[in-house]
Structure 1
Amino acid sequence: MKHKETIFALLLLVAMMLWGLSWPLSKIMVAYLSPFKIASIRYGLVALSFVPLMLFLRIPFAIPSKSYKSVALTSVCNALYTLAFYLGLLFGNAGAAGVIVTTLAPILASFIGVFIYRSTLLGREKIGLLLGLISGGFLMGVGNLQTLLTPFNLIFLIAALLWGCVNLASKSATSHINAITLNFYSSLFCSIIFSPSLLFSSSELFELDGRFWFCMVAVALLCTTFATTIFYKGISTLGINKGGSFMLSVPIFAVLFSWLILGEVPKSNTIIGGIFAMLGIYLIHLYKPLGTKSKR
């Protein structure tokens, strides 16, 4: 069992690296095509790649009636998030965007969850949310009004909020449906809803070079299909808390790969805000006092 856990721990680290890599590769793609076209092609490839995977793993395609609303909500929020994701990358650095979304989304999801479920916060969760607010101040550049109100900040704040909604909706959906099935349908919906954009200036699709298609295939098949599958398999093996802790490395890899690939040097407010946010996420979602058992 220990050997299996070690293998999945290494695979989870690779998956988190791929999620971080998706940010600079996506930044490269938005220089070629509109966000609508990129989203349609990417998630079309993702949906197609999930089909043989689901058949091989014998994952059912059926959606239980109890999950209709949550699957629909997840799909809509994911489509809106994807649009914000690619639009935002037109205005700023991929590394900073990756830190904003991957750190603020879980914290915003916790804020929303408190109001929806009317839950009582533990002391550590209150501290975590406070750290989240502080991190948001650093990441958004609250000290500079001109920086605060830039399209980049506003779009990625909305993106983080939408991704938080995706997390909450998918949590509800996966109580009755396999997570891979949910990802298949949300990807299919995203591809279809943006597909009309492919009808306009369709000739440019045939003029795209190998660099674009390399990024597209890598983001769709490796950073999305492969990494997502490994993530869900990993947390089922290691447990929610131990497996989920790997997600704290995503913003680090987003900044690292954006620096290596795009030459983006991270700003001090991004680093400080990211650290505060990761501490907040740890306290809210991952910290377990001594003597308590991890969830599996």
Structure 2
Amino acid sequence: MKNIGEKHFTYLMLLAMFFWGGGWTALKILTYNLPMDVIIFWRFFLMSLAFLPILYFIRIPFKLDMHSLKYIFGSSVLNISFMISSFMGIKYGYAGAGSVIITTFSPIMTFLLVAILFRKRLRTKQYFGLILGLMGGYILLELGDFSHFLSSSNLYFLLCATIWAGVTLLSQHSQKHIHPIHYSFAISLIATIVTFYYAKDSAPLSVFHQGVEFWSAMIYLAVFGQAIATTIFFIASGKLGSEKTSSFMFLVPLFALFSAWLILDEPMQLHIIIGGGVSMLAVYFINKKEN
């Protein structure tokens, strides 16, 4: 990809965000068929296989040390926890709503963790962004009806956003010790081994009795929604810069809502659209650099 220009990377990033957005619809389809532990195992297993040709293509020596292993094991635990929480949230809620809540809350939660753990001083625009984030969260989670909130899948989505904030912090610091693609592959490989231990008593081979819809969703989620999209994101960040690359993530909820509406016939909930818009604006102000 060295000869690909910035314009083409922009198109690739649009494709990656589309893959990520559609992944929530694919996960919703998977919840209809088999137990959670079986689906999570196969998701990580296929993701690991999908990384093999990518590793061959980049041809970068795979090096591990105690520092990188520390981040890999930590992220593996968080990634498994994230998949469990997202599975439960999507199973009992809307795929589109989950994508909006998790995608917009994760950067806000990440920023709060950094501010608390590293005692980072906030700028005026960042305070304004946090206030907007609270407003967006109030709308997204329908806090006007608190009993509805406590009995809904929103709690799982909120937990996902918090877990992913931890994943983001670990991933950021891990890049000092290991290449991002090697890091993602190692996480998926360890997660495959761990989840197989729990799935082996739940008939993991039952996936071969599933139809085209199941396998289309599974392959899309593991290969396109994870391995390919993640690889494009990591490579593009080096070409376009992390700030510009991260801005593309604002498109994920849009693509997720559209795919859930088109494929799952999910309604376009007004509070999700408005709350998501306010929360994305909050993320913009939190990450906006001073002139």
- Whether 1:199 and 2:201 are equivalent positions in the alignment is yes
1:114-263 equivalences in 2 (<5 Å): 114-196=115-197, 197-202=199-204, 204-263=206-265
Offset of 1:92 from its aligned partner?
A: 0.7
8 A Cα contact 1:39 1:190, kept in partner: no
Counterpart in the other structure of 1:35: 36
- What's 2:275 paired with? 273
Q: Deviations over 1:52-95 (max 9, x none)?
A: 21122013322233223222211111110011111111111100
Q: Secondary structure at the match of 1:90?
A: helix
Calculate the TM-score normalised by the size of structure 2. Answer: 0.95
- For 2:84, the aligned partner's letter is L
Q: Which amino acid aligns with 2:265?
A: G
Q: Residues 236-290 of structure 1, C-alpha deviation per residue, up to 9 Å, x if partnerless?
A: 11111111110110011111110011011121111111011111111122x2344
Q: 2:58 is matched with which residue?
A: 57
Task: Write the distance in 2 (CA, Å) between the matches of 1:215 and 1:126.
Answer: 40
Counterparts of 2:4 and 2:31, CA distance in 1: 41
**155-164 vs 56-65, greater mean Cα deviation:** 56-65
How many residue pairs are counted as aligned between the two chains?
A: 289
Tell me which stretches of 4 or more aligned residues in structure 1 moved more than 6 Å. Answer: none
Q: Which amino acid aligns with 2:57?
A: F
Is the alpha carbon distance of 1:10 and 1:98 closer, same or farther for their aligned partners in structure 2, counting shifts above 3 Å? same
Q: Tell me the residue number matched to 2:16.
A: 15
**Comparing 209-218 with 51-60, which one deviates more in the overlay?**
51-60
- How does 1:28-107 map onto structure 2 within 5 Å? 28-107=29-108
Match of 1:294 in 2: none
Asked if the contact 2:130/2:286 (under 8 Å) is kept, the reply is: yes
Contact 2:108 2:133 in 1 (8 A): yes
Partner deviation per Cα, 1:80-129 (whole Å, 9 max, x = no partner): 00111111111111000010101101101111111111111111111111
> Separation in 2 of the partners of 1:120 and 1:255?
35
Please give the alpha-carbon distance, in whole angstroms, between the structure 2 residues aligned to 1:206 and 1:249.
34
Sequence identity (%):
35
The CA distance in 2 between the partners of 1:2 and 1:62, in whole Å, is 26
Unaligned runs of 5+ in 1: 291-296
The 3-state SS of whatever aligns with 2:24 is: helix
Check whether the contact 1:54–1:60 (CA below 8 A) recurs between aligned residues: no
How far apart are 1:204 and its partner, in Å? 2.7
1:2 to partner: Cα distance: 11
Task: Look up the SS of the partner of 2:252 in the other structure.
Answer: helix
Instruction: Indicate conservation of the 8 Å contact 1:95/1:254, yes or no.
Output: yes
Residue identity matched to 1:12: M
Separation in structure 2 between the aligned mates of residue 95 and residue 168 of structure 1, nearest angstrom: 25
Q: Distance in 1 between matches of 2:121 and 2:62?
A: 36
Gap runs ≥5 in structure 2: none
Cα 1:52–1:164 shift into 2, 3 Å: same
- Residue by residue over 1:121-145, the C-alpha shift from the partner in whole angstroms, topping out at 9 and shown as x without a partner, is 1111111111111111111110002
How far, CA to CA, are the matches of 1:153 and 1:119 in structure 2?
Answer: 29
Q: Distance in 1 between matches of 2:60 and 2:140?
A: 40
Higher alpha-carbon deviation: 152-161 or 183-192:
183-192
Relative to 1, partners in 2 of residues 1:203 and 1:270: Cα closer, same or farther, differing over 3 Å? same
Q: Distance in 2 between matches of 1:126 and 1:176?
A: 33
Q: Give yes or no for contact 2:16–2:229 (8 Å, CA) kept in 1.
A: yes
Structure 1 residue 218: Cα displacement: 1.1
